[in-house]
Amino acid sequence: MSLPVVTFNAPNQRTAIAELVAWCKELDGTVVEKVTMPEPQGLSYPGICNWAFKQVCKRMAGRDFFWIEADSIPLKKGWLAAIEAEWLEAKKYGKEIMWAADYNSPFDLVGGIGVYSGNADHLIADGITDDGFDGWTLRHRNHLIHRSNLIQHSYAHYLPNGDIRRKNEFPPDLPLLRKDAVIFHKDQSQGLIGCVRKGLLHG
């Protein structure tokens, strides 16, 4: 049985989420479950994003799942099956989370898309507001994380001082993609969808 693929359908991302859901279906029939609920008042970034992720963890309690975001684009047919096979192996060694192999040090250490066990709600704290849930998890649960080459993460292009020079753009940044990656995060413009449709990616 395939891993459920789940996202939070935030009000300010409805169009992008709809595009991602349609793309997953078009690519290979993968169905994405959208969790929709009213957002609490008074929370800003990153607290509101952490809250949304935790709602999904609570919804999926007891079930492993793949957390996907609007800017994480599957690249190949069968992407989820490949990830699930590696996940089942990682679980044998006590891993509870499967993330990208990329650190992009020193300015971009983690991206939170990936597989989470059915224990995620217990593993990741409620009410994190000073960092993303992924940064918190990296600091507190690193021993439970399996790093996979199937998932690729690159937030942006950086200046030497750590400021963002520019965010990823596709197709210009296609050389960034690893041949073994089956999903890429972060592509805010969702340009990779068109690239895959046109067959612009390497085999």
DSSP state of 67: E
Residue 203: its pLDDT value, please?
54
Mind listing the pLDDT tens digit for each residue in 96-125?
A: 999 999 987 788 878 899 999 999 999 999
Say which residue the tokens 């969702």 belong to: 190
Mind listing the pLDDT tens digit for each residue in 73-97?
A: 999 999 999 999 999 999 999 999 9
Average pLDDT over residues 34-50: 93
DSSP string, 77-119: TTHHHHHHHHHHHHHTTT--EEEES---TTT------EEE-TT
- Count of other CB atoms within 10 angstroms of residue 31: 11
CA-CA-CA-CA torsion sign (170, 202, 134, 39): positive
Backbone angles phi, psi at 98, to 5 degrees: -130, 115
Evaluate if residue 185 carries a pLDDT over 80.
yes
Task: Report the mean per-residue pLDDT for the chain.
Answer: 94
Whole-number percent of the chain with pLDDT over 70: 99
**Which of the two residues, 160 and 29, has the higher pLDDT score?**
29
pLDDT bucket at 5, cuts 50 / 70 / 90: very high
Mind listing the pLDDT tens digit for each residue in 11-30?
A: 999 999 999 999 999 999 99
